[in-house]
Amino acid sequence: MTDPRILLLPGWQNSGPGHWQTLWESVHGDRRVEQHDWMRPLRGDWSARLEEEVLASPGPVVLAAHSLGCILVAAWAAHSRNTHKVRGALLVAPGDVERDDLRQLIPGWAPIVRKPLPFPAVMIAANDDPYCEAPRSQQLARDWGARFIDAGPGGHLNAESGLGEWPEGRKLLNEISKEKN
């Protein structure tokens, strides 16, 4: 069985130097899906970039998404004909782009696609995330058919959360990578 390529899907404004996604890219050689515009994200453009990366991967992929990257996974999966290449997804701290303040900051991403994902997924979110209330994260996980893990207090599970290389998240990713659809 071929090891999957890990595709990192950062959220709005990308993941900075101390973010677990950046550290995973550096330490494990995971591949960041670079977007054309991190500051003014367009759902169609971001979906097209993800599609390009999935198609360019010689074998299966696993998606490791953070924040807006989680919303991207749902939007892309609803339209792609290449979801069979995805072995699974780790969805971390989705941003609630249907909330009024975020809808204005990041227009064009609401409504959130609520269809079940056609591949296994695990969502982990903190119960004090400032960008998505715990009940909303849990509902998104149910809508997407993802197993939900409550991370407890931890904010947006980003660099400011002090996760470093985040070995717990990597363990979850490794579990997903080994699952069979």
Q: What confidence tens digit (pLDDT) does each residue in 113-150 have? A: 999 999 999 999 999 999 999 999 999 999 999 999 99
Segment 51-98, tens digit of pLDDT: 999 999 999 999 999 999 999 999 999 999 999 999 999 999 999 999
More confident residue, 14 or 3: 14
Q: DSSP class of residue 144?
A: H
Segment 146-175, tens digit of pLDDT: 999 999 999 999 999 999 999 999 999 999
Pair 153, 127: CB distance under 8 Å: yes
Q: Residue 38's CB: how many other CB atoms inside 10 A?
A: 15
> What pTM, to 2 d.p., does this model score?
0.96
Residue with tokens 């992929």: 61
Pair 66, 92: CB distance under 8 Å: yes
Please report which residue ranges of 57-180 form alpha helices under DSSP H: 68-79, 100-105, 134-144, 167-178
What b/e readout covers 18-30, taking b as 16+ CB neighbours within 10 angstroms? ebbbbbbbeeeeb
pLDDT at 100: 95
